[in-house]
A and B are shown apart, each in its own frame.
Chain A
Amino acid sequence: MENHVIEMLNIRKEFPGIVANDNITIQLKKGEIHALLGENGAGKSTLMNVLFGLYQPEKGEIKVKGKKVNITDPNVANDLGIGMVHQHFMLVDTFTVTQNIILGHEPKKFGFIDLKKAEKEVADLSERYGLKVDPYAKIRDISVGMQQRVEILKTLYRGAEVLILDEPTAVLTPQEIEELIKILKSLVNEGISIILITHKLKEIMEVCDRCTVIRKGQGIGTVNVAETSTDELASLMVGREVSFTTEKQDANPGKTVLSVKDLRVKDNRKVEMVKGLNLDVKAGEIVGIAGVDGNGQSELIEAITGLKSIESGSIFLNDKEITNLSPRKVTQSGVSHIPQDRHKFGLVLDFPIGENMVLQSYYQKPFSKNGILSFNNIYDKAKRLIEEYDVRTPSEYTKARALSGGNQQKAIIAREVDRSPDLIIAAQPTRGLDVGAIEFIHKKLIEERDKGRAVLLISFELDEVMNVSDRIAVMFDGNIIANVLPQETNEQELGLLMAGSNQAKEGAQ
């Protein structure tokens, strides 16, 4: 009998109309890092929510250290030593690290919070696991990577022996990911067991001991990472062969479509975020902008698309100036924009998917005649796009909110690409999507490039930038600090460039 800390045996969880988990078994050994792999919507979160006591399973049993348990709510899970770090951090910005960690479990002395004691405990824990967290720092002053460590510390402070991490690397830079991996390994050495929810295969190969794959709610099986490959894992997850390096011909750049000259943009706080940036994108090429979030990428896109007015500089599209035009004029002059935040900008979630398909063109013929909408034409177009772009939706009348993230994104891409623009701006087009959807979107972007369109890709995922771009511009502190070709660089160098390292810049030149 092996030493399992957690066993979830033949778990089945149903929701009205769907079976989210069917006969899934996952067994976590003490001191291992166990990956839980699956596409979005495969049922990973449901399974972990069952373990965390948020859902009750219809069938199956959960054992902790060999004893059958009934986890009725998250407090029970906490008491059993199960801790979870969510993808979106649950921290109070204006509190210090220590205050956040003790929140809800405050050590008390005469009815007052004993902050001194707590700070010492946090410092001790941090040292023991090599987390290097400053117990006195305020959350708003520390980096995202550091905030994640605070979340990990929070669970350890509450006595967690089993740590569930939900997509922990999604928000980190390559260097931060390396640090995290070190931390995970040291946690395991101290006897903590870890479940890592992810769909990044490379990370699994690097840190995990075993990997349980689920697909469409079904448990596919558990494999030893040492005995498998990324290709095998991917096909287990998706159910078919997947190509990673996106197949593409060499670019055949034509004339300059987008030309940005000496652009300066301030953000809402009046801080200059884009500082004299120059950038050209030619027809038939994909230019990828690599950079850590917050180095002016959002402001650059907003300036080009007319969502934000600029301080100085100029923007040309096909030699016509589009500086400070309204978003509608920019759209009409041939720019499509796949926005970074699809819920905030890309869709009106409570509109039917069909009405979302004409979000920029609803006022034009044939969708509107004399100010009256023609729903027949709108839904005809929606139906055609849904079919062409394989948007999985019960019908074109379904609210956009009800679709999965991947299908929402496909709908946006359908709408933006179908307008036959000269320039496509794709900001993080695959954020949070699974490999199947990512593959589809990358293929579409390359197809559009091959049709002679200019594509500007902004992504925080190095893999994506390296794979899809024909040219990479590295953005740091409001400027393009390096232009590199994907075939002549590597992740290490890009990572250093993105961190603003001059050494790497010189090396690249």
Chain B
Amino acid sequence: MFSNRMFNLLVPIISVLLGLIAGAIIMLSFGYNPIDGYIALWNGAFGSPYFFGETIRQVTPYILTGLAIAFAFKTGLFNIGAEGQVIVGWLAAVWIGTTVDAPMFIHLPLALIAAAVAGGLWGFIPGLLKAKLGVHEVIITIMMNYIALYVSNGIIRDVLTDSKDSTDTIKESAALSANWIMELTSYSRLHYGIIVALAAAVFMWFLLEKTTTGYELRSVGLNKHASEYAGMSVSKNIILAMVISGGFAGLAGAMEGLGTFGYMPTHSAFTNIGFDGIAVALLGGNNAFGVILAALLFGVLKIGALNMPTVAGVPSELVEIVIALIIFFVGSSYIIRWALLRLKKEGN
């Protein structure tokens, strides 16, 4: 009835549709018109150049954190630490952006690399502990998130500034933003970062599918025992996977620091970019190009939803519920898979 490829495509699509339907039922039961609501959502994401620009801006870090989680998944690891890696990446990018003086072609790449290295370091620690001591990466990465949050706040307050709650703005030469893009999108905060994100997706695909290193990473992810038998170093690959995964998340932080904001405020809570990346990776089937599509959907929901309270009168709490429902159905795609398989069986 369906080919495997179709099947893998069908599951996320049905998940999203079910989420939208459930959202509609919630809106109806609270007396709001779901059609108006969803039209407002659509217009809020695509209705004007400004909204469109904002949507793409939101998609950018989602792609990168989605890639981070997906990359770790492919190697059999669960990187809950993308959140912390985003924060340290953001801090490192802004630190370089504010303190170094260099022409753009040096300054901007340097700031991006610093973000990736910082995120990579934040992934290296749990990777090392997992590889050498067998400590589960989920526990360590969760803890590393808190360390990142509070250490970065401390550095912003006491090292980069004098008790202020935000860093200075980065220098022009380190900025991802460009005037012509802003003008084109009616002064949205869209920036060059989307190119970095798309390049990162291509990089991940190429690394995993085409290189010797990727072969090892995939092999270790699928079967540790056979990989060890074949002479690969399992611990080296676990560490490498966590470092690269952290690097992607660190770059997501750079998108915020060098693109969207141009500075880093102290955070009282997590940014959620890293956590949302988990859902993005799941919905994208841990595949580089799937992640791009899933990030697009999340960006549309996040930005489009901002338009729902003002235009359709749906309160923002309900909008959050609708988004959560979509994620719920994505997470429970197992049920959809099962239902489709039954259909498939009976169809035959």
User: What per-residue 1/0 map shows which CB atoms of B211-233 lie under 8 Å from chain A?
Assistant: 11111101100110111111111
Q: Which residue of A lies closest to B227 (CB)?
A: A348
Q: Which residues of chain A have C-beta atoms less than 8 A from B210's C-beta?
A: 372-373
Report the minimal beta-carbon distance from B231 to chain A, rounded to whole angstroms.
Answer: 3
25 contacts between A and B (CB under 8 A): A16-B348, A327-B230, A328-B231, A328-B232, A329-B231, A330-B231, A344-B223, A344-B226, A345-B225, A345-B229, A346-B226, A347-B223, A348-B218, A348-B226, A350-B222, A350-B223, A359-B219, A359-B230, A360-B230, A362-B216, A363-B212, A368-B212, A371-B212, A371-B213, A373-B215
Report the minimal beta-carbon distance from A43 to chain B, rounded to whole angstroms.
Answer: 19
From B210, B212, B233, name the one whose CB has the most chain A CB atoms within 10 angstroms.
B212
With known contacts A360-B231, A372-B210, A373-B210, A347–B226 Cβ distance under 8 A: yes
Q: Which of B211, B226, B231, B348 contacts A372 (CB 8 A)?
A: B211
Report the minimal beta-carbon distance from A81 to chain B, rounded to whole angstroms.
Answer: 30
User: What per-residue 1/0 map shows which CB atoms of B46-61 lie under 8 Å from chain A?
Assistant: 0000000000000000
Q: Which residue of B lies closest to A363 (CB)?
A: B212
Please, how many residues of chain A have a CB less than 8 angstroms from a CB on the other chain? 29
Docked-complex contact A372 and B222, CB < 8 angstroms: no
Question: In the complex, A471→B275 CA distance in Å?
Answer: 61
User: What per-residue 1/0 map shows which CB atoms of A345-370 lie under 8 Å from chain B?
Assistant: 11111110001000110110000100
Report the minimal beta-carbon distance from A348 to chain B, rounded to whole angstroms.
Answer: 5
Report the minimal beta-carbon distance from A155 to chain B, rounded to whole angstroms.
Answer: 30
Docked-complex contact A348 and B222, CB < 8 angstroms: yes
Docked-complex contact A326 and B215, CB < 8 angstroms: no
Question: In the complex, A373→B217 CA distance in Å?
Answer: 13
Which residues of chain A (290-348) have a CB below 8 Å from chain B? 305, 307, 326-332, 337, 339, 344-348
Q: Which residue of A lies closest to B213 (CB)?
A: A371
**What residues of chain A have their CB less than 8 Å away from a CB belonging to chain B?**
16, 305, 307, 326-332, 337, 339, 344-351, 355, 359-360, 362-363, 368, 371-373
With known contacts A371-B211, A372-B212, A373-B211, A351–B219 Cβ distance under 8 A: yes
Docked-complex contact A346 and B229, CB < 8 angstroms: yes
Q: Which residue of B lies closest to A339 (CB)?
A: B229
With known contacts A16-B348, A362-B212, A371-B212, A348–B219 Cβ distance under 8 A: yes
User: What per-residue 1/0 map shows which CB atoms of B196-218 lie under 8 Å from chain A?
Assistant: 00000000000000111111101
Question: In the complex, A379→B212 CA distance in Å?
Answer: 15
Q: Which residue of A lies closest to B230 (CB)?
A: A359
Contacts A355-B215, A359-B219, A368-B212 known; 7 new A-B pairs at CB < 8 A: A348-B222, A348-B226, A349-B222, A362-B212, A371-B211, A372-B211, A373-B214
With known contacts A326-B231, A328-B231, A360-B231, A345–B226 Cβ distance under 8 A: yes
Docked-complex contact B228 and A373, CB < 8 angstroms: no
Question: In the complex, A372→B208 CA distance in Å?
Answer: 10
Which residues of chain B (224-258) have a CB below 8 Å from chain A? 225-233
Which are the 4 A-B pairs with shortest beta-carbon distances? A328-B231, A359-B230, A345-B229, A368-B212
With known contacts A16-B348, A348-B222, A359-B219, A373–B212 Cβ distance under 8 A: yes
Docked-complex contact A327 and B229, CB < 8 angstroms: yes
From A332, A355, A371, name the one whose CB has the most chain B CB atoms within 10 angstroms.
A371
Q: Which residues of chain A have C-beta atoms less than 8 A from B222's C-beta?
A: 348-351
Question: In the complex, A351→B214 CA distance in Å?
Answer: 13
Question: In the complex, A439→B231 CA distance in Å?
Answer: 30
Question: In the complex, A337→B214 CA distance in Å?
Answer: 24
Report the minimal beta-carbon distance from B203 to chain A, rounded to whole angstroms.
Answer: 14
Q: Which residues of chain A have C-beta atoms less than 8 A from B228's C-beta?
A: 307, 327
Q: Which of A327, A339, A347, A355 contacts B231 (CB 8 A)?
A: A327
Docked-complex contact A349 and B231, CB < 8 angstroms: no
Q: Which residues of chain A have C-beta atoms less than 8 A from B214's C-beta?
A: 373
Question: In the complex, A326→B231 CA distance in Å?
Answer: 7
Report the minimal beta-carbon distance from B178 to chain A, rounded to whole angstroms.
Answer: 34
Q: Which residue of A lies closest to B206 (CB)?
A: A372
Q: Which residues of chain A have C-beta atoms less than 8 A from B211's C-beta?
A: 371-373
Which residues of chain B (172-216) have a CB below 8 Å from chain A? 210-216
Question: In the complex, A360→B226 CA distance in Å?
Answer: 10
Q: Which residue of B lies closest to A359 (CB)?
A: B230
Question: In the complex, A359→B225 CA distance in Å?
Answer: 12
Question: In the complex, A473→B294 CA distance in Å?
Answer: 60
Q: Which residues of chain B have C-beta atoms less than 8 A from A345's C-beta?
A: 225-226, 229
Question: In the complex, A359→B215 CA distance in Å?
Answer: 9
Q: Which residues of chain B have C-beta atoms less than 8 A from A347's C-beta?
A: 223, 226
Question: In the complex, A349→B219 CA distance in Å?
Answer: 10
From A326, A337, A348, A371, name the one whose CB has the most chain B CB atoms within 10 angstroms.
A348
From B213, B222, B230, name the one whose CB has the most chain A CB atoms within 10 angstroms.
B230
Question: In the complex, A171→B244 CA distance in Å?
Answer: 45
Question: In the complex, A462→B283 CA distance in Å?
Answer: 52
Which residues of chain B (315-337) have a CB below 8 Å from chain A? none
Q: Which residues of chain B have C-beta atoms less than 8 A from A307's C-beta?
A: 228-229
Question: In the complex, A344→B228 CA distance in Å?
Answer: 11
Report the minimal beta-carbon distance from A176 to chain B, rounded to whole angstroms.
Answer: 29
Question: In the complex, A16→B348 CA distance in Å?
Answer: 7
Q: Which residue of B lies closest to A329 (CB)?
A: B231
Docked-complex contact B212 and A348, CB < 8 angstroms: no
Question: In the complex, A348→B215 CA distance in Å?
Answer: 11
Question: In the complex, A332→B212 CA distance in Å?
Answer: 18
Q: Which of B213, B223, B231, B233 contacts A348 (CB 8 A)?
A: B223
From A330, A350, A359, A363, name the one whose CB has the most chain B CB atoms within 10 angstroms.
A359
Docked-complex contact A331 and B231, CB < 8 angstroms: yes
Q: Which residue of A lies closest to B207 (CB)?
A: A371
Q: Which residues of chain B have C-beta atoms less than 8 A from A373's C-beta?
A: 210-212, 214-215
Question: In the complex, A344→B225 CA distance in Å?
Answer: 6
Q: Which residues of chain B have C-beta atoms less than 8 A from A350's C-beta?
A: 222-223
Question: In the complex, A368→B226 CA distance in Å?
Answer: 20
Report the minimal beta-carbon distance from B342 to chain A, rounded to whole angstroms.
Answer: 14
Docked-complex contact B213 and A362, CB < 8 angstroms: no
Question: In the complex, A349→B213 CA distance in Å?
Answer: 19
Q: Which residues of chain B have C-beta atoms less than 8 A from A327's C-beta?
A: 228-231
Q: Which residue of B lies closest to A368 (CB)?
A: B212
Report the minimal beta-carbon distance from B217 to chain A, rounded to whole angstroms.
Answer: 12
Q: Which residue of A lies closest to B345 (CB)?
A: A16
Question: In the complex, A368→B214 CA distance in Å?
Answer: 12
Q: Which residue of A lies closest to B212 (CB)?
A: A368
Question: In the complex, A373→B219 CA distance in Å?
Answer: 14
Question: In the complex, A345→B219 CA distance in Å?
Answer: 12
Q: Which residues of chain B have C-beta atoms less than 8 A from A344's C-beta?
A: 223, 225-226
Question: In the complex, A345→B225 CA distance in Å?
Answer: 5
Docked-complex contact B231 and A362, CB < 8 angstroms: no
Q: Which residues of chain B have C-beta atoms less than 8 A from A363's C-beta?
A: 212
Report the minimal beta-carbon distance from A201 to chain B, rounded to whole angstroms.
Answer: 33
Q: Which residues of chain A have C-beta atoms less than 8 A from B348's C-beta?
A: 16
Q: Which residue of A lies closest to B214 (CB)?
A: A373
Report the minimal beta-carbon distance from A220 to chain B, rounded to whole angstroms.
Answer: 28
Which residues of chain B (105-143) have a CB below 8 Å from chain A? none
Docked-complex contact B229 and A337, CB < 8 angstroms: yes
